[in-house]
Amino acid sequence: MKYRCLLALLVTLTASGQQELDLDVGQLLESAQDWAEENLDESLLRALPEVDRDQVEKFLRQFQAQLQQDYVLDLAGLKETAQFVLPLLDAHPDTQPYAAWLRTRLDYFEIAEELRRQGPPLKPKPGQTPKPAGNPSAAVERKVWEQKLSRRDRPAAANPLVPKLKSIFAAERVPEPLVWLAEVESGFNSRARSPAGAGGLFQLMPGTAKELGLRRWPFDQRYQLEPSAQGAARYLNRLHTQFGDWRLALAAYNAGPGKVQELLDRKGARSFDGIAMALPAETQLFVPKVEGTILRREGVSLAKMQPPKK
């Protein structure tokens, strides 16, 4: 269905006089694919029965919105809905990439719930709505993630992939333990796709992939092991060069370097902890989860990671 839509768009562009532009067919098809990535999400949900489709679409939109807000604890309220939605997405091949993306984020709801329990009790004044508790500190989140991940088994899908990924990261002069970013982003499922359009093992956005030199047409290299790993490693290397710190580099990988730099400037901060509570909720959860995952898998902290020797 996706490619029928791409063909239809190509025909439309040609019929409307776009053939006069100095574009070759490959560029035109790539533009059509970019358009499709941003506009065909709802069509993939048509595989679901209508009553389920409405619930799934509502949840995905709400979840995406809350991930971009800066209040972490609100995510706890979506836990039951997420557990209901996941098997619906898993039941159809068209929506399984969304299921792979959601499955790796189920623990976001659990962590938000745990952070809410650990927070100070609210003391509402008579006749007034209680104010929400503030975001937990980065140190608190690191501790909760470390505890949760301390007994998590290594995913079976990682076994054949990790040695290959480490070799690619080493060639790009990026610390090899960072390949475990793929566990956090996709559970080592190369088909994983987010509702926002990120895709592959390392959940690269279409625009980021293009900047990194990954092809989108005729095959999307974000879903291929070697090109996607090379792109992710190059991006991490670039972000670490910019910020000089792996926590900040990971925050920028998730939220964008512009957002991270803006917060550092506004708050006069130099560290992730100095801006963590103002970052999007997803980033607040993402960075300590990556850190805890690497600690669990490799026994190495982000602060002590060194690039491979030449």
Query: In CATH, what number is assigned to the domain containing residue 77?
Result: 1.10.530.10
Q: Is 268 within a domain?
A: yes
Can you give the C-alpha Rg of the chain in angstroms? 21
Tell me the pLDDT band of 216, cut-offs 50, 70 and 90: confident
Asked whether residue 253 is assigned to any structural domain, the reply reads yes
22 in a structural domain: no
Look up residue 33 and give its amino acid: Q
Amino acid 48: pLDDT: 78
Does a structural domain hold residue 3?
A: no
How confident is residue 210, by pLDDT bands cut at 50, 70 and 90? very high
* Higher-confidence position of 177 and 6: 177
Q: pLDDT tier at 17 (50, 70, 90 boundaries)?
A: very low
Task: Kindly state whether residue 167 falls inside one of the protein's structural domains.
Answer: yes
- Mean pLDDT over 51-60 rounds to 86
Query: In which band, very low, low, confident or very high, does the pLDDT at 53 lie, cut at 50, 70 and 90?
Result: confident
14 domain residue, yes or no: no
Residue 270, in any domain of the structure = yes
Other beta carbons within 10 angstroms of residue 124's beta carbon come to 9
Query: How many domains are there within the chain?
Result: 1
Q: Which of the four pLDDT bands, split at 50, 70 and 90, describes residue 19?
A: very low
DSSP assignment letter at 216: -
C-alpha to C-alpha distances, 139 to 146, 274, 276, 292, nearest whole angstrom: 11, 11, 10, 12
Which residue's structure tokens are 């490619």? 3
Which of 308, 289, 230 lies closest to 75, judged by CA?
289
Rounded Cα gap, residues 57 and 103, in angstroms: 16
The pLDDT of 11-36, averaged and rounded, is: 49
pLDDT above 70 as % of the chain: 81
pLDDT at 14: 44
* From 176, 183, 185, 291, active-site residue: 185
List pLDDT tens digits, range 138-189: 999 999 999 999 999 999 999 999 999 999 999 999 999 999 999 999 999 9
Quick: pLDDT tens for 93-147.
989 999 999 999 999 999 999 999 987 665 655 665 555 678 999 999 999 999 9
| Inter-CA distances, 209 with 184, 212, 234, 235, Å | 19, 5, 11, 9
- Residue 259 clears pLDDT 50, i.e. is over it: yes
pLDDT for residue 7: 44
- Average of pLDDT values for 289-309? 91
Question: 10 Å Cβ neighbour count for 259?
Answer: 17
Q: pLDDT tens for residues 265-288?
A: 999 999 999 999 999 999 999 999
**46 or 41, higher pLDDT:** 46
Confidence of residue 52 (pLDDT cuts 50, 70, 90): confident
Distance, in Å, from the CA atom of 152 to the CA atom of 91, rounded to the nearest integer, reads 25
- Confidence at 41, pLDDT banded by 50, 70, 90: low
Q: Which domain holds residue 257?
A: 27-119+133-310
d(CA 85, CA 104): 14
Asked, for residue 20, whether it belongs to a domain, the answer is no
The two structure tokens encoding residue 200:
């592959």
| Of 22-26, 55-59, 129-133, 203-207, the least confident | 22-26
Is 141 labeled as catalytic in the residue annotation? no
Chain centroid offset of residue 160 CA: 22
